[in-house]
Structure 1
Amino acid sequence: METVVPVEACGLVKRFATRGGTPLVALDEVSLRIPAGRLSALVGPDGAGKTTLLRLIAGLMKADGGQLRVLGLDVGAEPQAVQDRISYMPQKFGLYEDLTIQENLDLYADLHGVEPGQRKERFARLLEMTDLSRFTGRLAGQLSGGMKQKLGLACTLVRSPDLLLLDEPTVGVDPLSRRELWQIIEQLIEQERLSVLISTAYMDEAQRCAQVFVLYQGNLIAEGTPEDLSERAKDLCYGIEPAAGVPARTLQARLIDDREHIVDAVPHGGQVRFIRSGHASLEEIPSLHGEQAAQPLAARLEDGFMVLLREHASDQGQPSPQAPADEPGGEEELESERRPIIEVRDLVRKFGDFTAVASTSFKVFKGEIFGLLGPNGAGKTTTFRMLCGLLPASSGHLEVAGVNLRSARAAARRRIGYVSQKFSLYGNLSVQENLEFFGGAYGLFGGRLKARLDTVLRQFELQGQRNDRSGDLPGGYKQRLAMAVALLHEPDILFLDEPTSGIDPLARRAFWRQITELAAAGTTVVITTHFMEEAEYCDRIVIQDAGRLLALGTPEEVRRQGGEQASDMDSAFIAVVERSRARLGMAAG
Structure 2
Amino acid sequence: MSTLALDARGLGKRFAVKPSGRMLDALADVTLSIEPGTLTALVGPDGAGKTTLLRLAAGLLRADSGSLRVLGIDAAQDPQAIQNRISYMPQRFGLYDDLSVQENLDLYADLHGVPLAARRERYARLMTMTDLGRFTARPAGKLSGGMKQKLGLACTLVRSPELLLLDEPTVGVDPLSRRELWDIVRQLVDDEQLSVLVSTAYLDEAERCARVFVLHDGRLLAQGDPASLRDRASGRVFAVTPPAGQPARLLQAQLLDHAVAVADAVPQGGRVRFVRDGDGADPALSALLDGLAVDALPPRLEDGFMLLLRERRVMPAPTPPLAVSAPAPVSDDATVIEVRDLVRRFGDFTAVASTSFSVRRGEIFGLLGPNGAGKTTTFRMLCGLLPASSGSLRVAGVDLRRARAAARRRIGYVAQKFALYANLSVRENLEFFGHAYGLHGTTLHERIATVAAQFDLAEVMDSASGQLPGGFRQRLAMATGLLHEPDILFLDEPTSGADPGARRAFWRRITALAATGTTIIVTTHFMEEAEYCDRIVIQDAGKLLAIGTPGEVRGQAGIAGDPGAGMEAAFIGIVETARERGAR
TM-score (structure 2 length as normaliser): 0.97
Amino acid at match of 1:345: R
Cα shift at 1:280:
2.9
Cα shift at 1:336:
4.1
* Separation (CA, whole Å) in 2 of partners of 1:10 and 1:338: 65
Q: Is the 8 A contact 1:242 1:291 kept in 2?
A: no
* Separation (CA, whole Å) in 2 of partners of 1:413 and 1:446: 22
CA 1:238/1:281 → structure 2, altered by over 3 Å: closer, same or farther? farther
What SS class does the counterpart of residue 258 from structure 2 fall into? coil
Aligned residue in 2 for 1:219: 219
Which residues in structure 2 correspond to 1:346-495 (within 5 Å)? 346-495=341-490
* Separation (CA, whole Å) in 2 of partners of 1:321 and 1:181: 38
Q: Does 1:520 align with 2:520?
A: no
Cα shift at 1:269:
1.2
Cα shift at 1:337:
6.9
* Separation (CA, whole Å) in 1 of partners of 2:67 and 2:187: 32
Amino acid at match of 1:513: R
* Separation (CA, whole Å) in 2 of partners of 1:503 and 1:335: 32
Q: Is the 8 A contact 1:167 1:200 kept in 2?
A: yes
Cα shift at 1:466:
1.1
Q: Is the 8 A contact 1:254 1:287 kept in 2?
A: no
* Separation (CA, whole Å) in 1 of partners of 2:313 and 2:462: 23
Cα shift at 1:253:
0.6
CA 1:183/1:304 → structure 2, altered by over 3 Å: closer, same or farther? same
Aligned residue in 2 for 1:321: 320
CA 1:156/1:288 → structure 2, altered by over 3 Å: closer, same or farther? same
Which residues in structure 2 correspond to 1:81-92 (within 5 Å)? 81-92=81-92
Aligned residue in 2 for 1:569: 567
Q: Does 1:584 align with 2:579?
A: no
Amino acid at match of 1:13: G
Q: Is the 8 A contact 2:488 2:518 kept in 1?
A: yes
Aligned counterpart for 1:555 among listed residues 539, 550, 556: 550
Provide the aligned length of Structure 1 versus Structure 2: 580
Cα shift at 1:474:
1.4
Q: Does 1:103 align with 2:113?
A: no
Aligned residue in 2 for 1:8: 7
Q: Is the 8 A contact 1:321 1:513 kept in 2?
A: no
Q: Does 1:300 align with 2:300?
A: yes
Cα shift at 1:204:
0.4
* Separation (CA, whole Å) in 2 of partners of 1:68 and 1:559: 48
CA 1:282/1:561 → structure 2, altered by over 3 Å: closer, same or farther? farther
| Cα deviation code 1:204-254 (max 9, x no counterpart) | 000000000000011000000100001211111000111111001011111
* Separation (CA, whole Å) in 2 of partners of 1:183 and 1:220: 28
* Separation (CA, whole Å) in 2 of partners of 1:538 and 1:335: 15
Cα shift at 1:287:
4.7
CA 1:282/1:455 → structure 2, altered by over 3 Å: closer, same or farther? closer
What SS class does the counterpart of residue 22 from structure 2 fall into? coil
* Separation (CA, whole Å) in 1 of partners of 2:330 and 2:435: 36
Which residues in structure 2 correspond to 1:141-180 (within 5 Å)? 141-180=141-180
Cα shift at 1:289:
4.0
| Cα deviation code 1:460-509 (max 9, x no counterpart) | 11111111111111111111110011011110000000000000000000
Amino acid at match of 1:572: A
Cα shift at 1:288:
2.4
Cα shift at 1:319:
4.4
Which residues in structure 2 correspond to 1:244-259 (within 5 Å)? 244-259=244-259
Q: Is the 8 A contact 1:319 1:460 kept in 2?
A: no
Q: Which moved more, 1:108-117 or 1:282-291?
A: 282-291
| Cα deviation code 1:2-48 (max 9, x no counterpart) | 21101111111111112212201110111100121010000000000
Q: Is the 8 A contact 2:42 2:215 kept in 1?
A: yes
Amino acid at match of 2:525: H
Cα shift at 1:286:
3.8
CA 1:166/1:457 → structure 2, altered by over 3 Å: closer, same or farther? same
Q: Is the 8 A contact 1:239 1:273 kept in 2?
A: yes
What SS class does the counterpart of residue 525 from structure 1 fall into? strand
CA 1:287/1:253 → structure 2, altered by over 3 Å: closer, same or farther? farther
CA 1:335/1:438 → structure 2, altered by over 3 Å: closer, same or farther? closer
What SS class does the counterpart of residue 263 from structure 1 fall into? strand
Cα shift at 1:294:
1.2
Cα shift at 1:291:
4.2
CA 1:335/1:475 → structure 2, altered by over 3 Å: closer, same or farther? closer
CA 1:287/1:431 → structure 2, altered by over 3 Å: closer, same or farther? farther
Q: Is the 8 A contact 2:89 2:169 kept in 1?
A: yes
* Separation (CA, whole Å) in 1 of partners of 2:285 and 2:485: 36
* Separation (CA, whole Å) in 2 of partners of 1:405 and 1:243: 39
* Separation (CA, whole Å) in 2 of partners of 1:104 and 1:324: 51
Cα shift at 1:203:
0.5
What SS class does the counterpart of residue 160 from structure 1 fall into? coil
* Separation (CA, whole Å) in 1 of partners of 2:570 and 2:422: 39
| Cα deviation code 1:325-382 (max 9, x no counterpart) | 43234xxxx3547521000000000000000000000000000000000000000000
CA 1:314/1:179 → structure 2, altered by over 3 Å: closer, same or farther? closer
What SS class does the counterpart of residue 426 from structure 1 fall into? coil
* Separation (CA, whole Å) in 2 of partners of 1:318 and 1:273: 21
Amino acid at match of 1:28: A
What runs of 5+ residues in structure 1 fail to find an aligned partner?
Answer: none
Which residues in structure 2 correspond to 1:69-84 (within 5 Å)? 69-84=69-84
* Separation (CA, whole Å) in 2 of partners of 1:412 and 1:219: 48
Amino acid at match of 1:351: F
CA 1:86/1:210 → structure 2, altered by over 3 Å: closer, same or farther? same
Q: Could you say what the CA RMSD is over the residues aligned between the two structures, in angstroms?
A: 1.4
Amino acid at match of 1:252: Q
Q: Is the 8 A contact 2:253 2:324 kept in 1?
A: no
What SS class does the counterpart of residue 545 from structure 2 fall into? strand
Which residues in structure 2 correspond to 1:321-340 (within 5 Å)? 321-329=320-328, 334-336=329-331, 339-340=334-335
Cα shift at 1:71:
0.5
| Cα deviation code 1:124-161 (max 9, x no counterpart) | 00000000111111110000000000000000000010
* Separation (CA, whole Å) in 2 of partners of 1:337 and 1:492: 17
TM-score (structure 1 length as normaliser): 0.97
Cα shift at 1:314:
4.8
Q: Is the 8 A contact 1:348 1:396 kept in 2?
A: yes
Question: Identity, % of aligned pairs?
Answer: 66
* Separation (CA, whole Å) in 2 of partners of 1:440 and 1:152: 40
Structure 1 runs of 4+ with >2 Å offset = 279-291, 311-315, 323-329, 334-338
* Separation (CA, whole Å) in 1 of partners of 2:152 and 2:280: 48
* Separation (CA, whole Å) in 2 of partners of 1:416 and 1:368: 14
Q: Is the 8 A contact 1:237 1:276 kept in 2?
A: yes
Q: Is the 8 A contact 2:48 2:219 kept in 1?
A: yes
| Cα deviation code 1:371-424 (max 9, x no counterpart) | 000000000000000000000000000000000000000000000000000021
CA 1:54/1:335 → structure 2, altered by over 3 Å: closer, same or farther? closer
Cα shift at 1:290:
3.0
Amino acid at match of 1:4: T
* Separation (CA, whole Å) in 2 of partners of 1:144 and 1:524: 29
CA 1:338/1:224 → structure 2, altered by over 3 Å: closer, same or farther? farther
